[in-house]
Amino acid sequence: MEERNGLSARSAVLSALLGSHPPSLSARHLVRIGALFGIAEGTVRVALSRMVAAGDLSQADGRYTLSERLVERQSRQDESRAPHTRPWDGTWEIAVVTAERRAPADRAALRHTMAALRLAELREGTWMRPANLVREWPETVIGQCTLIDGRPHANPTALLWDLDGWAAEARALERSLDRADGLAEGFLVSAAVLRHLLADPLLPEALLPPDWPGGELRTRYDDFDRRYREVLHRHLRG
């Protein structure tokens, strides 16, 4: 059965669990979420079995829980809603790939990690961002890169991020939050906002254009999410 809104059973399950704390739901609740989008119970249960087999989920006592890898994604999602920043003194973090003979898997892992750390690639093998985030460098980066603190002579922000594009989409999502009607539409808008916040480079205020909508989107989403979760929980209990 093809789902309404193009949402697959796997996407519905993942979005539901990524938005749950702790990230564990019963099969019955996941089936009810799938039903919001016209996804048949059998389709949801097949997706759950496949996700367990693939290592995306674990299953015990009728409940499904995100794998460690996806719990890390949820942590990044939570961080994007309430980022840990520090005052910026103008320093940039620069990571230059210096490891030789890297396997394709190592290259892919580094690219994934750099995106999670919100670094952008200036050119092949050179990643950078302002040093205003509080976090540790993972072994994936330390093992493949030389790390440098520096100060570019010219501001490279425009070369690294499409801030105008991100801001335009953020404002469109704010309007979608205002218009969201019903559980299904609210679920889709919520997932879209969280994906967009993951793409926020979290730059210092000094590097952002005027009227940057990042803070406003987070505030409005937090309010929306509180109200939406109450309604969704009542639906699941019903």
The string of pLDDT tens digits covering residues 190-215 is 999 999 999 999 999 999 999 999 99
Is residue 1 very low, low, confident or very high in pLDDT (cuts 50, 70, 90)?
A: very low
Q: Where are the beta strands (DSSP E) in 151-218?
A: none
Count CB neighbours of 48 within 10 A. 21
Torsion of CA 181, 14, 215, 21, to 10 degrees: 100
Q: For residue 196, what pLDDT is reported?
A: 97
- In the predicted model, is pLDDT for residue 3 greater than 70? no
In the three-class reduction of DSSP (H, G, I as helix; E, B as strand; rest coil), residue 28 is classed as helix
| Assigned token pair, 154 | 């010219």
The string of pLDDT tens digits covering residues 134-169 is 999 999 999 999 999 999 999 999 999 999 999 999
pTM for the predicted model, two decimal places: 0.90
Alpha-carbon 56 to chain mean position = 16
Stretch (H or E) spanning 12: helix 9-18
- In the predicted model, is pLDDT for residue 231 greater than 50? yes
- In the predicted model, is pLDDT for residue 32 greater than 80? yes
Alpha-carbon 4 to chain mean position = 23
The string of pLDDT tens digits covering residues 64-103 is 999 999 999 999 999 999 999 999 999 999 999 999 888 9
DSSP 6: G
Q: For residue 6, what pLDDT is reported?
A: 67
Q: For residue 238, what pLDDT is reported?
A: 75
Q: For residue 2, what pLDDT is reported?
A: 42
DSSP 107: H
Tell the residue number behind the tokens 């997932």, with chain if given.
191
Q: Position 227: which residue type?
A: R
- The mean pLDDT value for 31-37 works out to 95
Count CB neighbours of 53 within 10 A. 9
Q: For residue 179, what pLDDT is reported?
A: 96
DSSP 122: E
**What does the mean pLDDT of the chain come to?**
94
